[in-house]
Amino acid sequence: MKPPRLGIAMILSGPSGAGKSTVCNLLRQRNPGLCFSVSCTTREPRNGEVDGRDYYFIDQKNFQRKIKNNEFVEYAEVHGNFYGTLKSEIIERVRAGKDVLLDIDIQGAFHIRESSKQYSLLEKCTEFVFLGPPSFGELEKRLRGRGTEKEEVIMKRLETAKSELDHWRDYDYLVINKEVEQTVKDLETLFDILHKSTKRLEDSGFYT
Ligand code: 5GP
C-alpha cells in the first residue's frame, strides 16, 4: 500500500526562447494526469492559443482586481505585459496529491521561492527546474526563428535572457533543452524520482 502524499508543483522556468512552452505542451500531451497551472495574462492571444488552456486572457482591470483580492501566488510584468499564477491552480491540487506543472519566468520563480518560505505547503511541494538552452547562440536563433516578434521585442528579450542565464544556480535542477523529445523524457524521469521523496509523504498511519 502506498502512503498518501502531496503532489509536486514543478516550476519550469528559464529565459524566453529556452523552449518552455513547447516542452510543457508535449509533457502535458504525454501525461494526461499531470495538471497544468494556467496563468493569467494581459497580453493578446497569439495564433492558435486558447483561452483557459494556454492562458486566461484578461484585461488590466480584471488583473488588478485579482491582485487586490490576493488571488495570485505571484505576478510580474514581463516584456510589458502582466502575468500571474493563481493560487487556485496549485493549492487544492497538490493537497489532493496531484502534480502540477508551472511555466513561469525567472522573476516569477523567485517570487514563488520567497512566498514558499512563509507557506510550508508550498515549500514541501515546489521543485525548481531551470530549463536552459544549449548555448546563448542557440537561444538567439530560436527567438529569431519564431518570427512572431518585432526586432525591437527580440532585442529586449535577448538582453533579459543574457542576465537570466546566470540564475540556473538558484534552482534545484538544471535541464538543458537540446532536443524536445529527450527533454520531456528527462522531466518524466525527474518526476519519477521526485515521487520517491519522503518530504511530501504524510506520515499518519504508515507502518502502523
Ligand atoms: P509568453 O508571452 O511568451 O507566453 O510568456 C512570456 C514569459 O512569461 C515566459 O517567460 C513565461 O514563462 C512567463 N510567464 C508565463 N506565465 C507566467 C506567470 O504566471 N508568472 C510569471 N511571472 N511569468 C509567467
Q: Which residue has the higher pLDDT, 162 or 51?
A: 51
Domain ranges of the chain: 9-193
* Closest CA to ligand 1's atom 8: 105
Instruction: Verify whether ligand 1 is closer than 6 Å to residue 83 (CB atom).
Output: yes
For 64-99, letters b (16+ CB in 10 Å) and e give eebeeeebbbbbbebeeebbbbbbebbbebbeeebb
Q: Using CA atoms, how far apart are residues 124 and 57, in angstroms rounded to an integer?
A: 30
DSSP helix/strand/coil, 177: coil
Instruction: Verify whether ligand 1 is closer than 6 Å to residue 19 (CB atom).
Output: no
Instruction: Verify whether ligand 1 is closer than 6 Å to residue 87 (CB atom).
Output: no
**What's the mean pLDDT in 161-183?**
95
DSSP helix/strand/coil, 3: coil
CA of residue 51 to ligand 1 center, whole Å:
15
* Closest CA to ligand 1's atom 16: 104
Q: Residue 116 to residues 10, 56, 70, 144, 170: CA-CA distances in angstroms?
A: 13, 24, 15, 35, 15
**What's the mean pLDDT in 142-168?**
85
Task: Determine the pLDDT at residue 149.
Answer: 75
Task: Determine the pLDDT at residue 145.
Answer: 81
Pocket of ligand 1, candidates 43, 51, 63, 105: which has the most ligand atoms within 8 Å of its Cβ, to mutate?
105
Integer Rg of the chain from CA: 17
Cell output for 177: 533543452
Task: Compute the mean pLDDT over every residue in the chain, rounded to the nearest whole number.
Answer: 92
Task: Determine the pLDDT at residue 208.
Answer: 66
Q: Which amino acid does the sequence have at 208?
A: T
CA of residue 107 to ligand 1 center, whole Å:
10
Superfamily of domain covering 9-193: P-loop containing nucleotide triphosphate hydrolases (3.40.50.300)
What's the pTM?
0.90
Task: Determine the pLDDT at residue 207.
Answer: 74
CA of residue 134 to ligand 1 center, whole Å:
21
Q: Give Dmax (Cα) for the chain.
A: 63
